[in-house]
């Protein structure tokens, strides 16, 4: 049996019966990685022997542990104690954190087996996983194409059955967009639902950790495990965690769905547009009420994001200087020269671009004109959603305006690359939850994703909508 092709809940049922063991699952995953990953480059830090040791260390089936015996991969910007965590960057070469991220501790308490780290755009700066120090990850559906980013390694590993499920992080679409382009499920929780402690920050007011899975039920299971208040994260919200897996099967009859006209703009791929129309019809046959509506400040989202996110990134990345950990440049005549050479040699071109953009936006004489104005427009974008959710239960949009594009197609044109996240950015600016689920394929066989956005801390409704569509669409 090819256990690596099964979902987490299917594997749990087999573990409950005693038909398989955690070691069996790990062996399947290890075999698949050995056969495939050289051509995909989805996994960057992986020790098969340590994974088997962890599987063997699980003694006796614990039915109260939701992820008992299930192997999971972690994006390379989430800290795992004493194991490489490098954010896909040379500047963190050899860095092994002295502590676990809170989500990692929660996974371990739930019985999950940590397998290793997945590839990503350097410091999550990208939409294609082409900026990684470890080279590009390829899309399992077409290896000439990108898997999306920045959580491209996690999405590609799940899509290629190298992983049962994985964790990613989402700052402007970095879970949902690769999930869409790789044909898997990716969920960005509400800001504050999942602890960010141990997530190496890109933009602290936007970042969220979330699941990438094979189906919606697995996303609900994994979200329940990693959610909850954490005193180590001052942005973590003290709110009860619903039993997501038991709530998603209630159907969507009578649910009101908004379809924003700003997400069906000129330039959207015709096959993506048609898939959206088909998905909306399917939702209507399930009893949902779909209506056209407007989110008027959507057009400013990309500009606002690339001011707020780069400003926060330039501040967060100031700590990487070669003094205490990571890469340090050789042959520097002074401490100042060592700082300069380390950052020059340690950061890739996209990281440098974003640091420069952010530093400029925060600089004297430009702060009010750029950063402060961006914060004001961010508030307007947030208000658009607040008004919309007074009338609608969820909002449905495409996840990406196009299917996966070819490797190197947009690397010389940063603006075109930045527009890849045009449909996902607003959710991060507003702090609301969003999920991407598969909703079809292009004629050439590339996956297309449907995005469902919800009210703050109402992950239940977006999961219920996603599950209902998934079951009906098969």
Question: For residue 57, which of 83, 24, 22 has the smallest C-alpha distance?
Answer: 22
CA nearest neighbour of 327 among 77, 76, 86, 74: 86
Among 336, 453, 466, residue whose Cα is nearest residue 385: 453
The answer for residues whose C-beta is within 8 angstroms of residue 274's C-beta and 6 or more apart is none
Q: What is the pLDDT of residues 403-429, one digit of tens each?
A: 999 999 998 888 788 888 999 999 999
pLDDT score at 412? 84
Sheet holding 71-75, edge to edge: 43-46, 113-118, 71-75, 165-170, 208-213, 185-188, 434-441, 447-454, 394-398, 256-260, 289-293
Distance, in Å, from the CA atom of 383 to the CA atom of 424, rounded to the nearest integer, reads 17
174-197 burial code (b ≥16 CB/10 A, e <16): bbbbbbbbbbbbbbbbbbbbbbbb
Tokens of 25: 């699952």
Query: Over the stretch 205-251, which tens digit does the pLDDT of each residue have?
Result: 999 999 999 999 999 999 999 999 999 999 999 999 999 999 999 99
Nearest to 74 by CA among 191, 195, 188, 169: 169
Which pLDDT does position 391 carry in this prediction?
Answer: 98
Give the dihedral of Cα atoms 219, 455, 423, 261; nearest 10 deg.
Answer: 130
Q: Which long-range contacts (CB under 8 A, 24 or more apart) does 51-58 make?
A: 51/26, 51/113, 51/114, 51/115, 51/116, 52/23, 52/26, 52/27, 54/113, 54/114, 55/21, 55/22, 55/23, 55/25, 55/26, 55/113, 56/22, 56/23, 58/22, 58/111, 58/113
Q: What is the pLDDT of residue 381?
A: 98
Q: What is the pLDDT of residue 192?
A: 98
- Cβ atoms of residues 58 and 22 within 8 Å: yes
Classified by CATH at the fold level, domain 3-247 comes out as Amidase signature (AS) enzymes (3.90.1300)
**How many CB atoms are located within 10 Å of the residue 82 CB?**
10
**CA-to-CA separations, 166 to 29, 34, 265, in angstroms, rounded:** 13, 18, 32
The gap from C-alpha 100 to its chain's centroid, in whole angstroms, comes to: 19
* Residue 224 to residue 202: CA distance in whole angstroms: 24
Q: Could you tell me how many residues make up the chain?
A: 474
Beta-carbon contacts of residue 231 (< 8 Å; ≥ 6 apart)? none
The number of C-alpha atoms within 13 Å of 312 and in the hemisphere containing its C-beta is 19
What parts of the chain have a pLDDT lower than 70?
Answer: none
The pLDDT value recorded for residue 283 is: 98
Domain ranges of the chain: 3-247
For residues 271 and 442, is the Cβ–Cβ distance under 8 A?
A: yes
Q: Annotated catalytic sites, by residue? A: 75, 150, 174
């Amino acid at each position: 049996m090819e256990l690596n092709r099964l979902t987490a809940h299917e594997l749990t049922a087999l573990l409950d019966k005693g038909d398989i063991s955690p070691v069996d699952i790990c062996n399947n995953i290890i075999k698949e990685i050995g056969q495939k990953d050289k051509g995909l480059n989805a996994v960057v830090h992986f020790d098969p022997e340590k994974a088997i040791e962890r599987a063997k260390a699980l003694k006796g089936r614990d039915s109260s542990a939701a992820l008992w015996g299930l192997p999971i991969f972690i994006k390379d910007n989430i800290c795992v104690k004493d194991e490489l965590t490098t954010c896909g960057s040379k500047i963190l070469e050899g860095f092994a954190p002295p502590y676990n991220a809170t989500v990692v501790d929660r996974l371990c308490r739930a019985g999950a087996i940590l397998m290793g780290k997945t590839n990503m755009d350097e410091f999550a700066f990208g939409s294609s996983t082409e900026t990684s120090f470890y080279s590009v990850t390829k899309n399992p559906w077409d290896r000439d194409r990108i898997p999306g980013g920045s959580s491209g390694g996690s999405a590609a590993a799940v899509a290629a059955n190298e992983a049962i499920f994985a964790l990613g992080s989402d700052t402007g679409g970095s879970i949902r967009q690769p999930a869409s382009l790789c044909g898997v499920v990716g969920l960005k929780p509400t800001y504050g639902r999942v602890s960010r402690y141990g997530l190496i920050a890109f933009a602290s007011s936007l970042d969220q950790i979330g699941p990438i899975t094979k189906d919606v039920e697995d996303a609900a299971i994994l979200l329940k495990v990693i959610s909850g208040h954490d005193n180590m994260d001052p942005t973590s919200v003290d709110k009860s965690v619903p039993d997501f897996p038991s709530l998603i099967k209630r159907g969507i009859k009578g649910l009101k769905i908004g379809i924003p006209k700003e997400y069906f703009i000129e330039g959207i791929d015709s096959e993506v547009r048609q898939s959206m129309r088909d998905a909306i019809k399917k939702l209507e046959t399930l009893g949902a009420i779909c209506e056209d509506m407007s989110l008027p400040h959507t057009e400013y989202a990309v500009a606002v994001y690339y001011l707020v996110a780069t400003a926060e990134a330039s501040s967060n990345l100031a700590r990487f200087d070669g003094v205490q950990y990571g890469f340090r440049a050789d042959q520097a005549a002074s401490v100042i020269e060592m700082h300069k050479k380390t950052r020059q040699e340690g950061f890739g071109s996209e990281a440098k671009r974003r640091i420069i953009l952010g530093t400029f936006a925060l600089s004297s004489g430009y702060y009010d004109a750029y950063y402060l104005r961006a914060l004001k427009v961010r508030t307007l974008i947030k208000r658009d959603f607040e008004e919309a959710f007074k009338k609608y239960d969820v909002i449905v949009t495409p996840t990406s305006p196009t299917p996966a594009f070819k490797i190197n197609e947009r690397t010389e044109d940063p603006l075109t690359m930045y527009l890849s996240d045009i449909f996902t950015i607003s959710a991060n600016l507003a702090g609301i939850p969003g999920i991407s689920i598969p909703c079809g394929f292009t004629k050439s066989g590339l996956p297309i994703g449907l995005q469902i956005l919800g009210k703050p801390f109402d992950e239940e409704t977006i999961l219920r909508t996603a599950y209902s569509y998934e079951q009906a669409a098969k």
